[in-house]
A and B are shown apart, each in its own frame.
Chain A
Amino acid sequence: MKTIKFLSTAVFATLLFVSCSSDDDTPEPVNEEEVITTLTVTLSPQGGGTPITLQTRDLDGNGPNVPVVTSGNLVAGVTYNGSIIILNETVNPPEDITEEVKDEDLDHQFFYTLGGGLNVTTTYTSFDSEGNPLGTDFTLTAGAASSGTLTFTLRHLPTKPNTGLSEAGGETDITATFNVTVQ
């Protein structure tokens, strides 16, 4: 008898305990500030002409959708002034991450990698406060007709100075590969 009475007290206590939860408000959303969704490279021919835009855009960040890539073709023998803009377009208005990269220039560097026999050369034209390459701006000279890939990689906290991507270390903030043809 005593047992039964005791158990019912226990059940009662637990039910009371369960029912005393507060009614909650819905949580607030997190709009990630550090996400980079978009990388745009603008190549303006020196001496004038229509600029070429290379862009990769991944509006769902780390979500399952793959980035949308648009590319363009270069003209043999032309030198282009290149500039890179990176954006976070998950927030409204879009945030310009390039500014942050420039503010922390010692901690960042862009690398340009050629693949598949693409005949172009690149030169850094923007540098950090210690005179090492930053790479938000550069010049690109298209050589003979050829095709291949052009990859832009932004490394965070690389070893500076370095001899190139393979020994730079750090971690990749963005990497974007474009199929490019020199005509």
Chain B
Amino acid sequence: MSNTGASERNFSLNVGLNGFDYVIETYYSLFKNEVGILRASHLGGAEDQIRAIGSDRPLFIRDFAYEIDAPSQDVTHNLARLKAFKRFDGLGKVSFQYDYQKNNRLEFDIRRGSDRDKASLDLQLDTHTLMFDLDSKIFDLVNFKTGIVGRYQKNFADPNTGVRRLIPDYEKYDVGVYGIADYKFNDKLILEAGARFDFTYMDVFKFYRTSFWESRNYDVLFPEIVIEELDNQILTNPQLNYNNASATLGATYTFNDEYKLFFNYSLASRAPNPSELFSEGLHHSASRIELGDLRFNSEIGNKISLTFQKENDTFSFSINPFLNSIRDFIVIEPTEIQQTIRGNFQVWEYRQTNAQLLGVDVDASYAFAKNLSLDHQFSIVKGYDRTRNEPLISMPPVNTKNGIVYQNAKLKNIRLQLQSEYVFRQNEFPDNNFTVFIPETQTTQTVDLSTPPAAYHLLNFNSSLDFKVNQKSTLTVGAGITNLFDTAYRNYLNRLRYYADDLGRNFLLNFKFNY
């Protein structure tokens, strides 16, 4: 697999001050990640796609190398946080948190001429978040929590890349207010109710290709947002407002020490994000054209879920069925093929539809002998597009994880885990295939983007040991192997699955120092 290396550097620092009835904490973290983009996924037109999808070997294989070349991604996250809380008599706990996050994402593409070493994507995202929370006990039986969140986000896409912006320059403001209360009805029953209101305002500067602007009929729908018409682009200033209300109602019934039943109904709404609204053009690393839609509304979901839980020292399980009905659910799917001079490209378009998700999650663990336990996890979700009466695209297939763990606190807290992961083939999917005329062979061929990959089974191993360095410090050494048998598999949800198998056997080693 050429160019699939990754280099990651992290650093974090935590300083706190603990008082009698207050705590002040500061936190800083730096995360730097350089990832190669699979060379074989970097293609020209649909003919290349057919060659790639039809081939069982990646089209581009070079000798093994540690260096990361173009195409690659270079991501830096900086996070600074100030957090404080104080208890007040008769009022409760007041917390405050301020976050500043600075993310920089660079993508390097295979380019020509003087642009050769220049990034083709350079985004800088600054986010400030301010939160106040109040946690109080109004009466003996009622807990009340309320808060307000304010967020300001600014995205800057550097025009010096010489490539049209994938995500436009924008400023986004969010204000959210929420309140949630729980009431202890009796020893067995706790009722909970909450509500939240969010206001989002986006101020965007976006260059549209004139041909796209007109083909979407935006020139008729949104003439008022045009600022300037250039040769083949139009500068617009969309200013969008979204009001989102959410609510939740829940009940917890405790049968006895071991058994509990939770019921929850929630109404949730979410404003569309900038890529869903503004994507327009070739997404190089995916080698497909992605199109957003300026006309999108907020998604509104109604979810009912039930959890039945048993918990004790030897045997615990939980069963969690849920039903989620979402109006204006946003999906991205292949819609057509577009002719350009570089060849024919897949077009992936965002679309809103009414969706219904139905699923069950099951977890269980069983400590069958001293220091030995089994754990089990199973999840199934079925998604349907109720507008088109077909299955939803990109739904995770049924999967189950089963593991056995040996842990002994007396023996340097040794932990050995063997885990089996079985992923079924997704058997329900919409047909988004299309045909392409290949001039080289004078034939029409089907590009199969729909058929999910086969089921697969992976075995993973994990272990760790704790070493006491001194009274206060512990060093944890962990070693693991993922995909023990080097099974060749492709994951339905991985966008690069069309081009190559997923990760083979990997050895992981990590050290953690607590002081």
Contacts and interface: CB of A to CB of B under 8 A. Distances in A.
B231 interface: yes
Contacts of A131: none
B340 A67 contact: yes
Interface string B336-372: 0011111101000000000000000000000000000
Contact of A30 (B136, B152, B207): B207
A171 B110 contact: yes
Contact of A17 (B91, B152, B281, B341): B152
B115 interface: yes
A21 interface: yes
A104 B113 CA distance: 8
Given A29-B230, A56-B341, A169 B441 contact: no
Contact of A60 (B48, B232, B289, B439): B232
Contact of A149 (B175, B231, B233, B439): B439
A115 B441 contact: yes
B47 interface: yes
A7 B148 contact: yes
B152 A21 contact: yes
B60 interface: yes
- The residue in A30, A36, A90, A176 that gathers the most chain B C-beta atoms within 10 A of its C-beta is A30
B175 A14 contact: yes
- The residue in B48, B60, B112 that gathers the most chain A C-beta atoms within 10 A of its C-beta is B112
A169 B59 contact: yes
Contacts of A103: 113
Contacts of B207: 27, 29-30
B111 A34 contact: yes
A108 to B, nearest CB: 9
Interface in A25-57: 26-34, 36-39, 56
A75 interface: no
B372 to A, nearest CB: 51
A165 B44 CA distance: 14
A103 B207 CA distance: 32
Nearest to A179: B439
Nearest to B441: A115
Contacts of A165: 440
Given A2-B88, A18-B173, A61 B152 contact: no
A163 interface: no
Contacts of A36: 341-342
Contacts of A157: 110
Contacts of B148: 7, 10-11, 14
Given A28-B159, A149-B442, A157-B110, A3 B134 contact: yes
Contacts of A93: none
A172 B43 contact: yes
A27 B156 CA distance: 9
B333 interface: no
Contacts of A174: 341-343
Interface in B36-52: 42-45, 47-48
Interface string B162-203: 111100110101010000000000000000000000000000
Interface residues of A, number: 63
A172 B164 contact: no
Nearest to B345: A62
B42 A171 contact: yes
A156 B45 contact: no
Given A11-B148, A151-B440, A175-B47, A30 B159 contact: yes
A149 B438 CA distance: 11
Contacts of B338: 62, 64
Interface residues of B, number: 67
B205 interface: yes
B227 interface: yes
Contacts of A97: 112
Interface string B53-77: 0000001100000000000000000
Interface in B13-43: 42-43
A4 to B, nearest CB: 11
A156 B237 CA distance: 37
B211 interface: yes
Contacts of A39: 341
A39 B207 CA distance: 26
Given A14-B175, A34-B162, A171 B205 contact: no
A59 B232 CA distance: 8
Contacts of A100: 112-113
B282 interface: yes
A90 B205 CA distance: 21
A113 interface: yes
Contacts of A173: 44, 342
A17 B150 contact: yes
Given A172-B342, A173-B44, A3 B159 contact: no
A21 B150 CA distance: 13
B146 interface: yes
Contacts of A115: 439-442
A61 B112 contact: no
A7 B146 contact: yes
Contact of B44 (A18, A27, A31, A171): A171
A29 B159 CA distance: 7
Contacts of B110: 156-157, 171
Interface of A: 2-3, 6-7, 10-11, 13-14, 17-18, 21, 24, 26-34, 36-39, 56, 58-67, 90, 92, 97, 100-101, 103-104, 107, 113, 115-116, 148-149, 151, 155-157, 165-166, 169, 171-177
6 contacts: A33-B162, A37-B341, A63-B211, A63-B212, A165-B440, A171-B110
Given A3-B91, A3-B134, A175-B439, 11 more contacts: A2-B90, A6-B91, A21-B173, A27-B168, A29-B233, A65-B215, A156-B110, A172-B45, A172-B47, A175-B47, A175-B342
